[in-house]
Each structure stands twice: as C-alpha cells, then as structure tokens.
Chain A
Amino acid sequence: MEPILLSRRGLLVSFALGATFGGRPGMAQTGRSLDANEVDSFLAIGGDGAVTIYTSKVDVGTGVATAICQMAAEELGIPMARFSVVQGDTALTPDHGGTGGSSGVPRGGVHIRQAAATAREALLNMAAERLKRPAAELTLADGRVQPGGITEASLIGGKRLALKIDPKAPLKEPAEYTVVGKPFLRPDVPAKCTGRQTYIQDFSVPGMLHGRVVRPPGLQAKLLSVDESSIRGIPDVRVVRIESFLGVVAKDEWAAIRAARELKAQWSDWRELPGSDGLERFVREGEVGREQTIVNRGDAASALQANGAKQLSATYYWPFQSHASLGPSCAVADVREEGTTTIWTSSQGPHNLRKFLAKMFGIPAEKMRVVFVQGAGSYGRNGNDDAAADALLLSRAVKQPVRVQWMREDEHGWDPKGPAQLLDVKGALDAEGRIAAWQTEMWIPGGPSGAPALVGPEAAGIPQGRGQSAGQMTQNGDPPYRAEHVRVLARTLKDTPLRLSNLRAPGKIGNVFAVESFTDELAAAAGIDALEFRLRGLSDARAIAVLQKAAEMIGWQKRPSPNREKAGTGMWFGRGMAYVHYKQAENHVAIAMEVMVDRANGKIVVRRVTCAHDCGLIVNPDGLRNQVEGNILQTLSRTLHEEVQFDQSRVTSVDWAGYPILRFNEAPAIEVALIDKLELPPLGAGEAASAPVAAALGNAVFDATGVRLRKVPFTREHVLAEV
C-alpha cells in the first residue's frame, strides 16, 4: 500500500503559549469544556470545516495522534487533511488518562471515536431536519451531508454540540472504512526531517533564563556548603540553594552549564546503595513487602514432585534499565508573583503532573497550567516530571521563567529506572513431553504504593509521596501453553535501590524472557522442535497463526535445539522464537530470529528478525509497523547491552560509553507481518512486540551454541564466560 501524504497544514500538532489566566473549576481557563463525558471537550468543528481534536493522550513519536484522528475522521466523514490535534494541555484538553500501557488507541482513540460517532448522529439529525428527509437516508462524506451536499460546517461550524458522549451511538461498519486501516503518513515527520519541529528542548518564552541543577555525588547526600566564588568568572549567574537542592540560572545557556560544572560544593558522604554487582542476591534476600499469588491452577507444588515426571528448574535475571532518552529531560516553568504557574513539559501525563506539583507546592490546581510540548522519545515516565519540578523550583526562586535541561549524566544517573527482576522457574514434563506443571516465583524491587518522589523537591525538603510505581510488573509470568498445574507467585520488595518507573512493557519483557526461555528448555529436554512444542500446547487460532507466520517468514526448519551444524569459520548459527499473548489478554505476537555467535569473541550477530503481530483492528498500518520495529530494535538493545551500574553512592553508567545501546552496525533485517482483524477492537502496539524479543534471542543463541543465557545483558564477556 502506498503511504498517503497529508498536506503540511493538516494535523498540525499544536501547543498553546501560556498567558496569565483565571478560571473556575471544571471549565478550562479558556471556557472550553473539560468534562470527559462531553463531545465538545474532545472535538470542535470550525466554521471553515477544520476539526480540532483535544486529548490528554500525548504523541511521543508513536504516531498515536494520527491514529486518533483517523478514527475520528472515519466517523465524521471529514478528510484527514482538515484535522489538527491539541494534546496534553490541562487548560484545553479533557483528562481521559495519561499516556502509557499502550492505551492511546484502545482507550483514548476509542473514546474519541465514540465522541465522533455521537457527533455524527447529531449532525445527521440536524441535516434530516433541514432537508426534510429521514436521517437514515443520509451519510457524511468529504465534510458534507450526502445526498444534498450541505457542509457539516454549515450545520455546526464554530458552535457547540452540547451533548454527552453516547456509548450507544452507532459506529461506522468496518467494511465501509476508508480512512481507518490506511497508512497515513504522520504530519510531524516533515518538520522533524528538516529541523523545524519545536521540541521542549527548543521551546522558549520571553524573559526566560537557563537553569541547571547540581546533583550530589551520593543519591541522598546533604549539601553542606557552597563556594560561590568558584564561578566568579562566569557572567550573569545566580546560585539557587533550597536545603540540599542546588541549582544555577543564567541568561546564557553555556554560562549555566559551565557554572553548574564548576560550582564548588561540599556534600555529606552517602553510601547506602547495595551496588549493582551481585544485585541478584539483594533482590532475592530483600524484605518482601507484598506477596501475591497471580495464578493458581491445579496443584503445581505436588505435580512438580510427582514421580516419573521429568523436572527442570532455572533462574533468570533482568537488570535495572534506563529510559536513556536520546534528548535529556527538559521543562520550562513560569511561576508568577500572583501564584499562577505554567509549565511546559513533554511529560507523558500532564494532568497527573499538575495534580502532583499543585499538591506538592501548595498551588491551587486551577492556577496551574501544564502544557505538553513534544520532546525526545520517552518510554514511560522518564526524567521529564523531575525536570518540570526542577524548573518550577528555580522559577519560583528567581521569579522569572526558567528552562531546565538535564545534562547527559543527569538523565542516565537520575531518571527513574525499570526495575530488576529475578525469576525462579520450575517445570515438569509428562511422558509424552507435554508441560505437566509449571511454577514461576518472581522477586521485584518495590516500595509503598502511591505518588513517586521527584528528585528536586526531595532535595529541597518539600514533603511529597514516597511511592514506587513500575507499572504492571507481574503479568505474563505464566506460560500461554496448556498446563494443568500452574502457579505464579510475585514478591514485591519493600525497598528498591533506585527510583522506579514504568519502562516500556513493564515486567513483561523480563517475565516473557523467563517463561519463553524456559519453554525452550522444556522443549529441548523433551527433544522436540521449539515450534512444534508450542503449537501442541495451543488451541487459540490467533496464537497459532502468529507463530506459524513468524516461523514461515524466517524459514523455520523443524528440528530439536541445539543446532548440530556449525556455520564454519568460527561462527555458530542458530534460530529461535518466542510468543506472547500480551498481558494474557491483548495482542498476539510471535518473533523469530536468526543469529550467528562468534566463538572467538562471544559477539552475537542478529541477522534477521521476523514478527507476526495481531492487535485486532489496525488503524494505521505504517504507524503500527514503525512501533513494532521500534519495539524489536529497542528490546534487542536492552537484551544485548543494557544494565544500569551503580556503586554504594550513585549510578555510575552515566553516558553512552557506560550504558551502551544498539548501534547501526547491529541493526538486523526486520520483516513484520500485520494481521488485521476488522471485526475486533483495536489494541495498542507501543509495547507488545517488545515482550518476546529477549527470549527469542536467548533461544536462538542456545540453538547456535547449546548454551543457555539466563541473565541479561548478553554482552560479549557474558557470552564468552558461558560458552
């Protein structure tokens, strides 16, 4: 299918500049309705026929804004080129949830589609009255009512519909779709490819100063003293000190950077981290805060002991990982004398951020406006919320707008992290080589539930939540294959060495790494081909379809692992696969890959990756493909290279040398097969395809070498030590 290019005017993702504002609760300061039950809150048709969509779901480069417009355009019968989106502005957009958990399309998009369907019904009724014809004989297409040709703009343009979203408003029949399912190109891409996109890192307001925060050498070290004379040579710099929060502001950004670097400060000695070496022991032995039985079917404990069954057990480990956004977190804050505050941020949850910050700083929520501005990709809550609080602290102190951009070492060192995971898996095979029993026990660093602490306010001694939240960490700990006796136990620890965050596909990548690696271990123990072993345990046609498709694309040869044939010239050759039914409820994804392993230096070369992906109804196949490819490459990166290193005081892997990620040289060929299900609801795709990647890679390496890697990352040193 040839991609469809929108006019540049179409679909501009806009953001509003802040001004002083007042307002009453429930209404936007602009007079817009913010009620998430009202159609007008989500869409407005202008007198010129242009449509504006308002949503709290933000597009961090995923293409979700385009997909949401397609869903609305389909129902409204208005061309895509007339759409624009306002996203994540607490003064303008209703709050129908933050961005995360692949919820943009299945919740945000579906919600707005229902608003659009409600509007369509109302428009058809208005037209019926005007044309004196039954509404059932009318349709909307190309911005007009057909037949008759009166424009939708002439019916409602510039006016409010004043309607509640009707959950029963009929949706267009999928068979009649002309917009949903088409590969519309994202309208933000031309600006991004010509250096014209305004990122939060590029955003400025009049009178703005540049701020930098000076972080301590130990995570919770106290500031003892500051020697301001150490930066005397740098022009127009002010030092801001609030308890142990230390920052600088300057007119010139380079001055702020140099001042932050050169400012001499004394900090207390703080060494309370366990260190990342041997962290597995810390995780296994940590005090358990919450123990949950996630799955309990049959009697796994006895079945695992049963006589005659072939038993296996293995331990898997996933390390702490960073969002490692390519552009460090950034925000601009403007705290005015009268208390009104505006924050520009690329936080994935502007509404929640406002709630947090308003409470923390004692600012009434209606006096605070948080506005999303596109930033560097984030994959959950990275450092952006923290940077917003830093900017707010500095702006409040100097009574001028302040922009804070983190430096590289701030981002790697201080962004909240995806947690480590330790998993013990046990399984038993019956005489026919089928899974008879399965048990997964997982240990995950954690903490009290609730709002997380932001680093700036923490140092400034401002009381705030102490919560730790890493997302839904415990899903997909059970095999998706038939097994009579299954038990999954999750132990969330009382503590965590590093702050936690919901990093892309939280928990699922590590859990599926364990479950799908162990599935291969069972298949190998039974002497059965890995695809065959999986298919035997499945009855869901969608599961079977993706596995067969991914296998077919890679040219899967049925045989047990490991591969007995070596590729010669010192290289081992192998292939592996893995499957996930995401959250045991959503997408079906199968991934297969071919690898070569260099026996001399332990280097893993991923040659080809194939993926079959079923997420129900497809809204934009090209946007979807881009997400699937990104999931695959990013998770290869996480599996091959990534582990946050820390000592007793702080994170020590604070740049791209210490925390390497995948590079061009390592990019494999990727083939993606998308399976479209017109009759099913659309699911998100920002995460699911990442879940099987690590296991497929581990399985391929086992096939190649006969060595099972149970610990991520699969660095050369790690591979060499194992083979």
Chain B
Amino acid sequence: MPQYKFRVNGREVSVDSWDAEQPLLYVLRNGLGLHGAKFGCGLGQCGACTVLLDGKVTRSCMTPVRTVAGRAVTTIEGLGTPEKPDAVAAAFIQEQAAQCGYCTSGMIVAAKALLTGTPHPTREQAKESLDGNLCRCGTYTRILNAVMRAAKA
C-alpha cells in the first residue's frame, strides 16, 4: 500500500492509504487515532474538520492525503491538553464556549490561525474570519468572547 510521510503536531508520521484521494480527515482519525478533527459534512461547508496545513486553515475533509506528503499538519491535539490547554483553548474553557462541542475543535484551530496572523483582531474581524465554521448549538457569542479574551491575554 502506498505510504505518505508528513508531520503531525511536530512529529514525523508515515501512514498507509490504499487510495491517494483519501481525505486527510480519515487518515488523522482512523490511521493516527487523532479524533479532534470531526466529520461534519465532508463538503467543506462546516469547518468541523479544520486543521492547519503549514500553518494555514484547511478543511481536512477535502484534502487528499497525497497532497499532504512532506508538509506539516497541526490538529487540535497539538494545541495543549485538558490539563495544560493552549491560550486559545484556555479562553474557550473560561468562557464555557461550547455546548455539545462538536464544532469546537474546528473553531479553536481556526481562531488560533486568526490570532497568529492578527494578534489583536476586532470583534468584526473575528466574525469575518470564523464565518466558515458553523455551530448548531448557538455558541457564536461565547466563541467571540473567547477569541477576544485570548487576544487580550
């Protein structure tokens, strides 16, 4: 079976995939046991599967594994642990910016990318930048509060 080598959360990995077109999402979830990125739509419409590819916000459900070879992937698992969360995750926890939390990984990864590029966004910029991430439970205002809290920290 063809093998693909890339970095995930700073670690060199090598995965087998019988299909070069297999989206990165399934490779992360099933091949590498990283469940943080979620399947929401598989259509690039919801953002539940968001990861960073070479630092850029990417929908892993639409990213064939062959295109990832040699590149660096960051998933939510790369942004701290429950005991030692990254600053963005910590702000989400403090604001309780989750209900079911199914959208939350994607939100935090997208927020991380925003804050890396724009450390002090306005609330409007935050809305604009996260607009491709959907939340069905209605936590948008809390997420915005969390992003603004993280920006201040």
Q: Which residues of A contact B (CB under 8 A)?
A: 3, 5, 8, 60-63, 185-186, 188-199, 201-202, 235, 252-255, 257-258, 324-328, 374-377, 405, 407-408, 622, 626, 629-634, 637, 655-657, 661-665, 667-670
Contact = CB atoms under 8 A, between A and B. Distances in A.
Interface in B90-140: 92-94, 96-105, 108, 126-128, 130-131, 133-140
A655 B41 contact: yes
B120 to A, nearest CB: 18
Most chain-B CB neighbours within 10 Å: which of A3, A188, A197? A197
Interface in B40-61: 40-43, 45-46, 48
A632 B138 contact: yes
Contacts of A631: 138
Given A188-B101, A199-B35, A327-B38, 20 more contacts: A63-B99, A193-B97, A194-B89, A195-B37, A195-B76, A195-B77, A254-B23, A254-B26, A325-B102, A326-B134, A326-B136, A327-B48, A629-B141, A633-B139, A634-B138, A656-B43, A657-B45, A664-B131, A664-B133, A665-B131
Contact of A630 (B23, B46, B89, B139): B139
Contact of A665 (B37, B46, B128): B128
A666 to B, nearest CB: 8
Main secondary structure of the interface of A (DSSP, over half): loop
A374 B31 CA distance: 22
B14 interface: no
Contact of A377 (B26, B39, B81, B102): B102
A377 B85 contact: no
Given A192-B98, A255-B18, A667 B77 contact: no
B51 to A, nearest CB: 10
Nearest to B143: A664
Most chain-A CB neighbours within 10 Å: which of B76, B81, B101? B101
Interface string B65-99: 00000000001110111110100010011101111
A377 B126 CA distance: 24
B138 A193 contact: no
Q: In the A-B complex, list the 6 residue pairs whose CB atoms are closest, starting with the nearest.
A: A195-B36, A633-B138, A192-B101, A61-B100, A377-B100, A195-B76
B62 interface: no
A327 B40 contact: yes
Given A189-B93, A194-B77, A195-B34, A60 B100 contact: yes
A405 B130 contact: no
Contact of A626 (B40, B99, B104): B99
26 contacts: A8-B82, A61-B99, A63-B99, A185-B93, A189-B96, A189-B101, A191-B82, A193-B97, A194-B36, A195-B36, A195-B76, A196-B36, A196-B82, A199-B35, A201-B39, A201-B102, A254-B17, A254-B22, A254-B30, A325-B136, A326-B48, A326-B137, A377-B100, A405-B39, A622-B96, A664-B127
A689 to B, nearest CB: 10
A419 B48 CA distance: 28
Nearest to B95: A3
B151 interface: no
Given A327-B48, A656-B45, A664-B127, A235 B18 contact: yes
Interface of B: 17-19, 22-23, 26, 29-30, 34-43, 45-46, 48, 75-77, 79-83, 85, 89, 92-94, 96-105, 108, 126-128, 130-131, 133-144
Contact of B42 (A63, A408, A665): A408
Contacts of B46: 326, 656
Given A326-B48, A663-B134, A626 B39 contact: no
A405 B41 CA distance: 11
Contacts of B48: 326-327
B41 to A, nearest CB: 4
A622 B92 CA distance: 14
B30 A195 contact: no
B81 A194 contact: yes
A193 B104 contact: yes
B77 to A, nearest CB: 5
A636 B126 CA distance: 20
Contacts of B77: 194-196
Contacts of B93: 5, 185, 189-190, 193
B83 A637 contact: no
B104 A670 contact: no
A51 B26 CA distance: 38
A629 B138 contact: yes
Contacts of A663: 131, 134
B96 A252 contact: no
Contacts of A374: 100
Contacts of A185: 93, 96
Contacts of B139: 626, 629-630, 633
A670 B98 contact: no
A668 B75 CA distance: 30
Nearest to B30: A253
B153 to A, nearest CB: 15
A20 B19 CA distance: 36
B135 A326 contact: yes
A235 B1 CA distance: 11
B85 to A, nearest CB: 6
A63 B101 CA distance: 12
A62 B99 contact: yes
A13 B108 CA distance: 23
A630 B102 contact: no
A201 B38 contact: yes
Contacts of B126: 664
B35 A198 contact: yes
A327 B102 contact: yes
A193 B92 contact: yes
A242 B40 CA distance: 28
Given A629-B138, A667-B144, A199 B102 contact: yes
A326 B140 CA distance: 14
A324 B138 CA distance: 12
Given A194-B77, A202-B29, A665-B128, A630 B18 contact: no
